[in-house]
Amino acid sequence: MKLRPHLLALLLAAAGPSAHAQAPPAHERLLTIDTHLDTPANFARPGWDIMQRHTVAEDGSQVDYPRMVAGGLDGGFFAVFTAQTPRTPEGRAAARDAALLRASQIREMVAAHPAQFALALTADDAQAIAASGKRFVFMSMENGVPFGQDLTLMKTFYDLGVRIMSPIHFLNNDLGDSSTDPKGPEWNGLSPEGVRFVEQANRMGILIDQSHASDLVLDQMLTLSKAPIILTHSGCKAIYNHPRNIDDDRLRALAKAGGVIQINAFNAYMIDIPPNPERDAAVRAVQQKYGPNNARSAEQRRLSQAEMNALNTRYPVPRATFDDFMKHMLHAIRIAGIDHVGIGPDFDGGGGLTGLEDAADYPKITAALLAAGYSTADVQKVWSGNALRVLAAAQAMRAPG
């Protein structure tokens, strides 16, 4: 087990007097990684500053430097997320350009704060950067639409720093089938180009992320990939039967192939959410009133969040809890084993539950695992050891040149 040097004094100085209570020594001694942070979506927001402590109630954001410090988070995979665009030449070009911009924004954030953050490119970088007192920033891609018909672009994104790629998101695309496309399967798993994506990812040393893809895609990835597979933010069907979650047989197959599932905290993937057309219409009205998130000023974000808070009071939505999150976590450990489970709540991408609201809440996971009888060495595997192992395994396969 690798343990970073004790940095409590630094944490207290950066996070204020509440840091010790939020991030106790047992948690502080761990090297911690969240494998799916959608926080880069905030980087282009006017006036939003990762160095300032925000709140979920104020602007909806869940991760910033002060909350990473308060929650004892050493770093993670910051996602280059691209929404599905029309599968036309123009749509694919727009997706490519959006992904290049998002990747640049991540690198610019790191460059702007060299005393607090450093870009990580290899599995070994995480330990070294944490030991220096900085937070490490890996880069991942969520949705392969930017390179779906031109796999040569994978090298472009690799050269920018991307080390995890997921080929599919909410909808079917040029690479394969989504678990949630209302039209159902298009390719019955991976497309021919999706098969080539797996081969290319292996050659480049890129870790493949199956989250959001269909069950058949996972089956085929496990057969085709020479490196382990990661699910950066997924859950367990046995706890809640949702297409985004994974059944026990596939959990066992994932573990047998050396892979890892990182447990998410997305409300709709954990409990039933009854339809509410009136609420949906009201939410759409707020979105139309204030326009795209990235274009809203700080004041507009405050006002829109206040209206959303009022909507949540008027149209309450059932909300999963930290206990629900732990049910998925403990079930995955029981089925797949302690060497094949990690943490990826999907903060700033829709994740967040009662009791697991933002990055300041990470120590609760450590406390719950220790209370469940797992050793510090076990908890270290869950917090980073397993994810770094599969990243290193993928990177070891990178072809020379």
Specify if 3 maps to a domain.
Answer: no
Mean pLDDT of the chain: 92
Q: Determine, yes or no, domain membership for 255.
A: yes
Measure the CA–CA gap between 348 and 358, rounded to whole angstroms: 9
Judge if 130 and 167 occupy the same domain.
yes
Judge whether 360 and 277 are in contact, CB under 8 Å.
Answer: no
Phi, psi of 261 (to 5 degrees): -110, 130
Task: Quote the domain boundaries for residue 310.
Answer: 274-317
Taking each continuous run of H as one helix and of E as one strand, the counts in the chain are 17, 9
The model's pLDDT over 148-163, given as tens digits with 9 standing for 90+, comes to: 999 999 999 999 999 9
300 vs 105, higher pLDDT = 105
Residue 18 lies in a domain: yes
Kindly state the average pLDDT of the residues 374-378.
Answer: 96
Domain boundary among 261, 292, 317: 317
Alpha-carbon distance 391 to 144, whole Å? Answer: 19
Output the pLDDT for position 173: 97
Q: Does position 322 have pLDDT exceeding 80, yes or no?
A: yes
How many percent of the chain have pLDDT more than 90? Answer: 80
Mind listing the pLDDT tens digit for each residue in 332-355? 999 999 999 999 999 999 999 999
Cα→Cα distances 10→6, 127, 134, 151, 175, Å: 9, 17, 10, 43, 45
In a domain, 2, yes or no: no
CATH of residue 384's domain is 3.20.20.140
Per-residue pLDDT averaged across 357-384, rounded? Answer: 96
**pLDDT score at 210:** 98
Considering the domain architecture, whether residues 189 and 139 belong to the same structural domain is answered as yes
| pLDDT at site 100 | 98
Say if strands 75-81 and 260-263 run parallel, antiparallel, or are unpaired. Answer: unpaired
391 and 296 co-located in one domain: no
- Can you tell me the mean pLDDT for 242-271? 98
Give the per-residue pLDDT at 4. Answer: 40
Number of domains in the chain: 2
Average pLDDT over residues 16-27: 55
pLDDT, tens digit (0-9, with 9 covering 90-100), for 67-91? 999 999 999 999 999 999 999 999 9
pLDDT range class, residue 250, cuts 50, 70, 90: very high
pLDDT higher than threshold 50 for residue 171 = yes
pLDDT, tens only, 377-389 = 999 999 999 999 9
Q: Are residues 72 and 57 in the same domain?
A: yes
Residues 356, 284 share a domain: no
Q: Please give the average per-residue pLDDT across 209-222, as a whole number.
A: 98
Which of 317, 350, 382 is where one domain is finished? Answer: 317
In the predicted model, is pLDDT for residue 300 greater than 90? no
Which residues in 113-145 are b (16+ Cβ under 10 Å) and which e? Answer: beebbbbbeebebbbebbeeebbbbbbbbbbbb
Same domain for 86 and 118, yes or no, is yes
In a domain, 401, yes or no: no
Check: CB of residue 72 under 8 Å from CB of residue 363.
yes
Q: Which of 3, 49, 57, 58 is nearest to 26 (CA)?
A: 3
Query: What CA–CA distance (Å, rounded) separates 190 from 213?
Result: 9
Residue 167 and residue 284 in one domain: no
pLDDT band of residue 7 (cuts 50, 70, 90) is very low
Confidence of residue 23 (pLDDT cuts 50, 70, 90): low
Are residues 69 and 161 both part of a single domain? yes
> Between 302 and 152, whose confidence is greater?
152
Task: Check pLDDT > 70 for residue 11.
Answer: no
Q: Contact 34/67 with Cβ under 8 angstroms?
A: no
In this structure, are 291 and 232 located in the same domain?
A: no
Residue 307 is predicted with a pLDDT of: 87
- What is residue 69's predicted lDDT score, i.e. its pLDDT? 96
- pLDDT class of 12 with cuts at 50, 70, 90: very low
Examine residue 263 and state whether it is found in any structural domain, yes or no: yes
Residue 35 lies in a domain: yes
**From 6-20, 103-117, 347-361, the region with the lowest mean pLDDT:** 6-20
The pLDDT > 70 percentage for the chain reads 94
Q: Do residues 300 and 366 both lie within one domain?
A: no
How does residue 317 score in pLDDT terms, banded at 50, 70 and 90? confident
CA 212 – CA 172 distance, rounded (Å): 10
Which residue, of 258, 286, 317, is where some domain finishes? 317
- Averaged pLDDT for residues 137-154: 97
Residues in the chain: 401
In Å, the largest CA–CA distance within the chain is: 59
Q: How confident is the model at residue 33 (pLDDT cuts 50, 70, 90)?
A: very high
> Residues 245, 167: one domain?
yes
Tell whether 197 and 300 lie within a shared domain. no
Residue 141 within a domain: yes
